[in-house]
């Protein structure tokens, strides 16, 4: 018997390292996180190219090591945009047909290889047509029509089931909600079918939305796709309608579809009233396919919506069925993605800008470089963490891209061109404007200057925000005049605006009787602005225009709002813990209370004048929690009805809750807590009968 020398002296047998296994595990974790951030959070952490490169690497490694196969691998299923919190109100429905992702490539050679491969797999005597389409960069949607009426609108979800966002889809004018049985030309429309497409935010609306978010010092959307995705998951269809989404449809399917080819379906869908891209081309040769790709690589930059590539599909449905599918994509289609345009340029300087809420934003000042038809001189660096992740140093050469081909962004540093002994870019420890030590909250990425009352950019920024069109609409108080009035010590805060005298203005260079009178008239006219806009104007951090409207509608007056508890604030739609804390902190400061008293004395509206009287006190102060999705009214409408009939909306279940108004897919945590506490659960129909 052989003696085991190490059995009793504490040594453990070492497992040999397996670098392929470790790399596979690393790639799976990175791709899973990237999928979650892209589909769920609408905040991508890597470029499409980086993601696709890692996915291709993982596919090759898994082919080499079949012993490491995992059904949970990102190679085996597409990313998922399913809502993680079913209490948000989206019903999840299984797709009738799996909604898969497309195989994609950035290589023209791989397009040629795919073309030859599918041709070789089909009978030689059959004619093969390829439909070439623009690949729109938005959010995939599946529209179900039953009896020619829009019945469901499902996001791709996890490919097997999706969120039904039909109420938001109904706000998109380009999507018909009811179809005729027969067209004027005598063609009949099937009763039941499914049509798939892409929901998009046009460039013009994307820029407008980001400008609003910039003014409110909210995080900017990285690109139109993220903006469209975030918009379609909102709970308030009225906000969705304001963002002016559009939708291009590109695939028709169903048992009743009377066509045998894809291009025939698209032509029919256009006649039925769906928005179908006019750029689609049916190609009969590889040369025609490549011509289409090369043409749109340039021309797509003139389109009103974002595109990121070309989709190629076998035209004949019978041939599609013959080619079949892989685990996550059809073999009869492929996407060619245009490579992002990028340029190498040198960092000249990093400057730090202070916004109206004190947030300090680093900006890269670059040697001018032409990118996507425009000259780029500056790019945002977001925050200190972003600078650190780049390991950015003085005079570095950096790669610059346009995020969504609109927003310049630095994607990498060219280390080969780094100067020896180059010093790292240091985020300032004190405010670059007033010298106050900067602070950073533990749950936020941004540094901010706490010197609200004396920091010049914050003073001027708050006054400019107060005077904007969507706030108090004081024409004549733009950036230039605000700077002038502050520098001349005529105003130092928003309340001072209502104390400006004509003689003070006439003493300024360039001011005449007419310009002074116009400004004073605009200031006087601003006193008629409704309470919701006043609430937005005073500049509570994180309280944008929409949130201000909801707070004003809920609490009806500033006096009631100031007394609201954190729980009462969070009972308002879209008001989370961060916003509630910010509101409480704002009203808790003595200097803000002083400003508000002066504004009230000046005559601003601190209460809503719209009637919201209790119709009938049938609920008699009942504390009601709303949970689930509803068919007769929206959640907001039910909240209004509860208040209208004398009830009180609360956000969480407690022993004081009178009952829960429960729709479909009620939150499981609320259901469990209600059962434990013995809280009554009322259905939608029972509630309507209760107040009728």
What secondary structure does DSSP assign to 478-501, as a single string?
Answer: SHHHHHHHHHTTS-SSGGGGGG--
Domains contained in the chain, number: 5
More confidently predicted of 89 and 582: 582
Residue 263 lies in a domain: yes
- Binned at pLDDT 50, 70 and 90, residue 208 comes out as confident
Q: How high is the mean pLDDT of the chain?
A: 86
Shared domain check, 247 and 129: yes
User: Which among 281, 305, 337 is the end of a domain?
Assistant: 337
More confidently predicted of 515 and 19: 515
Residue 641 lies in a domain: yes
Query: Which secondary-structure segment (H or E) carries 376?
Result: strand 374-380
Q: What is the DSSP letter of 656?
A: T
More confidently predicted of 88 and 143: 143
Please give the pLDDT value at position 340.
73
Shared domain check, 249 and 293: yes
State yes or no: pLDDT of 85 exceeds 60. Answer: no
Residue 10 lies in a domain: no
User: Which among 337, 372, 397 is the end of a domain?
Assistant: 337
Residue 6 lies in a domain: no
In contact, 557 and 606? CB cutoff 8 Å: yes
For 112, the token pair is: 């040629």
Q: What are phi and psi of 369, to 5 degrees?
A: -145, 140
3-class secondary-structure state, position 607: strand
User: Which among 567, 602, 637 is the end of a domain?
Assistant: 602
In contact, 543 and 582? CB cutoff 8 Å: yes
Shared domain check, 468 and 390: no
- How far is the first Cα of the chain from the last one, in angstroms, to the nearest whole number? 90
CATH of the domain at 247: 3.30.470.30
Residues above pLDDT 90, as percent of the chain: 51
State yes or no: pLDDT of 133 exceeds 60. Answer: yes
Shared domain check, 29 and 172: no
Shared domain check, 538 and 676: no
Residue 554 lies in a domain: yes
For residue 117, the Cα-to-chain-centroid distance in whole angstroms is 38
State yes or no: pLDDT of 405 exceeds 60. Answer: no
Shared domain check, 189 and 322: yes
Shared domain check, 300 and 187: yes
Q: Give, to the nearest 10 degrees, the angle between helix 203-215 and helix 224-232.
A: 80
Average pLDDT of the residues in 15-40: 74
Give per-residue pLDDT as tens, 565-579.
Answer: 999 998 887 788 888
- Binned at pLDDT 50, 70 and 90, residue 4 comes out as very low
- Binned at pLDDT 50, 70 and 90, residue 530 comes out as very high
Shared domain check, 125 and 262: yes
Of 144, 161, 160, the C-alpha closest to 92 is 161
Shared domain check, 588 and 528: yes
- Binned at pLDDT 50, 70 and 90, residue 3 comes out as very low
Residue 355 lies in a domain: yes
Cβ within 8 Å of residue 68, ≥6 positions away: 20, 21, 24, 62
Note down the domain range covering 379: 342-417
CATH of the domain at 586: 1.10.150.20
Of 110-124, 173-187, 652-666, least confident by mean pLDDT is: 652-666
CATH of the domain at 656: 3.40.50.10190
Which residues are known to be catalytic?
135
For 342, the token pair is: 């990028």
Cβ within 8 Å of residue 137, ≥6 positions away: 198, 200, 223, 224, 225, 305, 306, 307, 308, 404
For 199, the token pair is: 């929901």
CATH of the domain at 351: 2.40.50.140
**Spatial separation of the C-alpha atoms in residues 376 and 388, rounded to whole Å:** 23
Please give the pLDDT value at position 47.
67
Residue 183 lies in a domain: yes
Please give the pLDDT value at position 11.
40
Residue 640 lies in a domain: yes
Of 222-231, 243-252, 399-408, least confident by mean pLDDT is: 399-408
Shared domain check, 547 and 462: yes
Average pLDDT of the residues in 250-267: 92
Shared domain check, 351 and 332: no
CATH of the domain at 27: 1.10.287.610
Can you give 83-126 as a three-state secondary structure string?
CCCHHHCCEEEECCCCCCCCCEECCHHHHHHHHHHHHHCCCCCC
Shared domain check, 649 and 598: no
Of 240-254, 369-383, 446-460, least confident by mean pLDDT is: 369-383
More confidently predicted of 490 and 645: 490
Give per-residue pLDDT as tens, 650-669.
Answer: 777 888 889 999 887 777 77
Q: What is the pTM of this model?
A: 0.55
**Spatial separation of the C-alpha atoms in residues 629 and 635, rounded to whole Å:** 8
Helix residue spans in 604-664 (DSSP H) = 635-644
Give per-residue pLDDT as tens, 587-643.
Answer: 999 999 999 999 999 999 999 875 545 567 788 888 898 888 787 777 767 887 887
């Amino acid at each position: 018997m052989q003696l085991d020398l190490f059995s009793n002296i504490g040594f453990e047998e070492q497992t040999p390292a397996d670098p392929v296994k470790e790399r596979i595990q690393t790639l799976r974790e990175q791709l899973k996180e990237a999928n979650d951030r892209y589909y769920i959070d609408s905040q991508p952490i890597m470029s499409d190219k980086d993601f696709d490169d890692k996915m291709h690497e993982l596919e090759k490694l898994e082919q080499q090591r079949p012993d490491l196969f995992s059904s949970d691998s990102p190679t085996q299923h597409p990313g998922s945009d399913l809502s993680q919190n079913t209490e948000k109100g989206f019903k999840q429905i299984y797709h009738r047909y799996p909604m898969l992702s497309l195989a994609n490539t950035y290589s023209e050679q791989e397009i040629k290889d795919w073309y030859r491969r599918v041709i070789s797999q089909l009978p030689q005597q059959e004619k093969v047509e390829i439909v070439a389409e623009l690949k729109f960069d938005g959010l995939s949607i599946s529209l179900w029509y039953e009896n020619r009426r829009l019945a469901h609108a499902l996001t791709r979800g996890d490919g097997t089931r999706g969120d039904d966002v039909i109420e938001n889809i109904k706000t998109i004018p380009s999507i018909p909600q009811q179809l005729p049985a027969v067209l004027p030309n005598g063609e009949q429309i099937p009763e039941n079918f499914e049509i798939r497409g892409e929901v998009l935010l046009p460039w013009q609306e994307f820029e407008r939305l980001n400008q609003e978010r910039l003014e409110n010092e909210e995080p900017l959307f990285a690109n139109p796709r993220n903006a469209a995705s975030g918009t379609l998951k909102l709970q308030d269809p009225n906000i969705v309608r304001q963002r002016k989404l559009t939708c291009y449809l590109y695939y028709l399917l169903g048992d009743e579809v009377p066509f045998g080819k894809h291009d025939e379906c698209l032509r029919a869908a256009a006649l039925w009233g769906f928005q179908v891209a006019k750029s689609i081309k049916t190609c009969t040769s590889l040369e025609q396919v490549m011509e289409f790709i090369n043409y749109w690589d340039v021309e797509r930059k003139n389109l009103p919506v974002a595109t990121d590539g070309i989709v190629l599909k076998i035209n004949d449905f019978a041939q599609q069925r013959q080619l079949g599918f892989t685990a996550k994509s059809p073999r009869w289609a492929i996407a060619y993605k245009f490579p992002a345009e990028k340029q190498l340029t040198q960092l000249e300087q990093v400057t730090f800008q202070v916004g109206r809420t004190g947030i300090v934003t680093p900006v890269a000042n670059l040697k001018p470089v032409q990118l996507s038809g425009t000259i780029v001189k500056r790019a945002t660096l977001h925050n200190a963490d972003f600078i650190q992740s780049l390991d950015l140093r003085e005079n570095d050469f950096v790669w610059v891209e346009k995020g969504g081909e609109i927003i310049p962004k630095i994607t990498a540093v060219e280390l080969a061109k780094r100067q020896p002994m180059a010093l790292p870019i240091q985020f300032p420890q004190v405010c670059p404007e007033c010298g106050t030590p900067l602070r950073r909250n533990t749950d936020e990425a941004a540094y901010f200057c706490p010197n609200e009352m004396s920091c010049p950019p914050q003073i001027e920024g708050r006054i400019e925000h107060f005077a904007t069109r969507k706030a108090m609409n004081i024409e004549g108080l733009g950036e230039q005049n605000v700077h002038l009035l502050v520098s001349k010590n005529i105003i130092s805060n928003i309340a001072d605006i209502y104390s400006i005298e004509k003689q003070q203005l006439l003493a300024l260079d360039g001011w005449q009787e007419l310009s002074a009178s116009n400004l004073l008239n605009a200031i006087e006219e601003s006193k008629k602005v409704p309470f919701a806009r006043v609430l937005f104007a005073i500049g509570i951090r994180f309280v944008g225009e929409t949130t201000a409207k909801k707070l004003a509608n809920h609490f009806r007056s500033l006096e009631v709002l100031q007394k609201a508890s954190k729980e009462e604030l969070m009972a308002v739609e879209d008001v989370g813990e961060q916003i509630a804390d910010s509101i409480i902190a704002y009203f808790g400061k003595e200097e803000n209370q002083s400003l508000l008293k002066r504004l009230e004395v000046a005559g601003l509206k601190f209460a809503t004048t719209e009637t919201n009287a209790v119709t009938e006190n049938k609920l008699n102060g009942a504390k009601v929690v709303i949970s689930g999705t509803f068919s007769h009214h929206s959640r907001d409408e039910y909240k209004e009805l509860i208040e209208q009939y004398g009830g009180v909306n609360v956000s969480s279940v407690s022993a004081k809750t009178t009952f829960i108004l429960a729709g479909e897919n009620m939150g499981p945590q609320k259901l469990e807590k209600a059962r434990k506490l013995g809280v009554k659960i009322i259905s939608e129909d029972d509630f309507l009968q209760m107040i009728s």
